[in-house]
């Protein structure tokens, strides 16, 4: 199977954005806040939004299954308070659940959390429980910076995050460490903030000892790990200076990287530097980079082409396409086995 571990519902019907605009407009007058029941999106509208977009491209490019979560830039945890985030997360997660229910052979959900700056992470547990136990979701997106580019939260190794980690371990679900919209003018959302966050999350974990407390906790760092593969020597050297174990022992039992890297040299570097056991196939289509590369004539985010062209054995490609995803997402593996796959 070709399993894409990084998909967002970027093509949701326009009514979702209209509802969100009303919610934001009501922040100064909570009595005018829209109710969840006010959002009306039919199954036919969901089908149209998927079949002419993600599903069409999956068929064209030869992928089978996508781990599907709400649009990352829409999470916007810096807007409003916990009640606002909670209502918004519940709506977005339900839409992904409905898509997965309509197309169970092609989509499985991952949860958006109702994070809010300064709020105890235990507040996110009920939504995560619902998504995993009731919706059958197999993972979650964890925003290390719910302030939207100002980095007011403690590092991921801080005990502030431990209530969520304890629940993740109990449910046996990994987290994709994925920020949302930047409201800091210094950081373009997809060109800087996302990649900064990928690099920052890895360094936070290197600098701490989180996985001594949570040896089975799993993080997926998207977008190829940001700067991590390119500066692997720097991180190895820093770990040595900090008297940390080798990175293979210190982090790579718990941290994984996806292939949302949009040119062949980048994928070549990723697969040459990072152990193949730690790389999972992903495209993030239809996402931040949607155009056609004039140098190749193919879409930038058609990442399967890069994997096929990389210097990999058939066994290594299977690991990247399927084997590693089934190991990192145990609930996905279990659901596939129930289907005889």
Q: Which positions are catalytic?
A: 284
Question: At what angle are helices 43-51 and 82-102 packed, to 10 degrees?
Answer: 80
Q: What CA–CA distance (Å, rounded) separates 14 from 187?
A: 27
User: Which candidate, 203, 226, 175, 188, places its Cα nearest to that of 6?
Assistant: 175
Q: What CA–CA distance (Å, rounded) separates 294 from 304?
A: 18
Q: What CA–CA distance (Å, rounded) separates 285 from 301?
A: 6
* Number of other residues whose CB lies within 10 A of the CB of residue 59: 12
Q: Do residues 161 and 208 touch, judged by C-beta distance below 8 A?
A: no
What order of strands is seen across the sheet that includes strand 139-142? 3-9, 65-70, 107-112, 139-142, 175-177, 219-221, 255-258, 279-280
Helix H or strand E encompassing 326 = helix 324-328
Q: What CA–CA distance (Å, rounded) separates 248 from 254?
A: 10
* Number of other residues whose CB lies within 10 A of the CB of residue 311: 8
User: Which candidate, 224, 215, 216, 295, places its Cα nearest to that of 258?
Assistant: 224
Question: What size, in residues, is the chain?
Answer: 341
Cα–Cα distances (Å) from 228 to 62, 63, 267, in that order, read 28, 26, 13
């Amino acid at each position: 199977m070709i399993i894409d571990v990084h998909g967002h519902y970027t093509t949701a019907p326009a009514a979702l954005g209209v509802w969100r605009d009303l919610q934001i407009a009501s922040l100064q007058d909570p009595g005018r806040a829209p109710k969840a029941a006010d959002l009306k999106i039919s199954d036919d509208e969901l089908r149209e939004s998927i079949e002419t977009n993600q599903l069409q491209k999956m068929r064209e490019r030869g992928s089978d299954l996508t781990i599907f979560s709400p649009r990352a830039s829409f999470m916007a945890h810096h807007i409003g308070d916990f009640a606002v985030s909670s209502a918004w997360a519940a709506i977005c997660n339900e839409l992904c659940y409905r898509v997965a229910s309509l197309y169970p052979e092609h989509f499985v959900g991952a949860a958006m959390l109702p994070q809010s700056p300064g709020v105890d992470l235990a507040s996110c547990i009920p939504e995560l429980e619902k998504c995993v136990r009731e919706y059958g979701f197999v993972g979650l997106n964890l925003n290390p910076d719910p302030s939207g580019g100002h980095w007011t939260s403690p590092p991921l190794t801080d005990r502030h995050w431990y209530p969520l980690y304890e629940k993740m371990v109990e449910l046996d679900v990994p987290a994709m460490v994925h920020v949302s919209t930047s409201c800091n003018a210094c950081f373009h959302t997809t060109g800087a903030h996302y990649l900064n966050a990928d690099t920052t999350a890895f360094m936070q974990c290197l600098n701490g000892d989180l996985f001594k407390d949570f040896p089975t906790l799993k993080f997926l760092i998207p977008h190829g790990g940001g700067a991590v593969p390119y500066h692997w020597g720097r991180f190895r050297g820093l770990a040595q200076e900090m008297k940390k174990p080798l990175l293979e022992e210190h982090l790579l039992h718990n941290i994984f990287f996806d292939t949302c890297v949009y040119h062949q040299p980048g994928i070549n570097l990723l697969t040459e530097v990072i152990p193949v056991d730690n790389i999972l196939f992903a495209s993030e289509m239809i996402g931040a980079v949607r155009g056609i590369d004039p140098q190749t004539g193919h879409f930038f985010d058609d990442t399967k082409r890069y994997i096929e062209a990389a210097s990999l054995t058939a066994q290594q490609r299977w690991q990247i396409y399927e084997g590693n995803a089934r190991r990192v997402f145990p609930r996905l593996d279990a659901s596939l086995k129930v289907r005889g796959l």
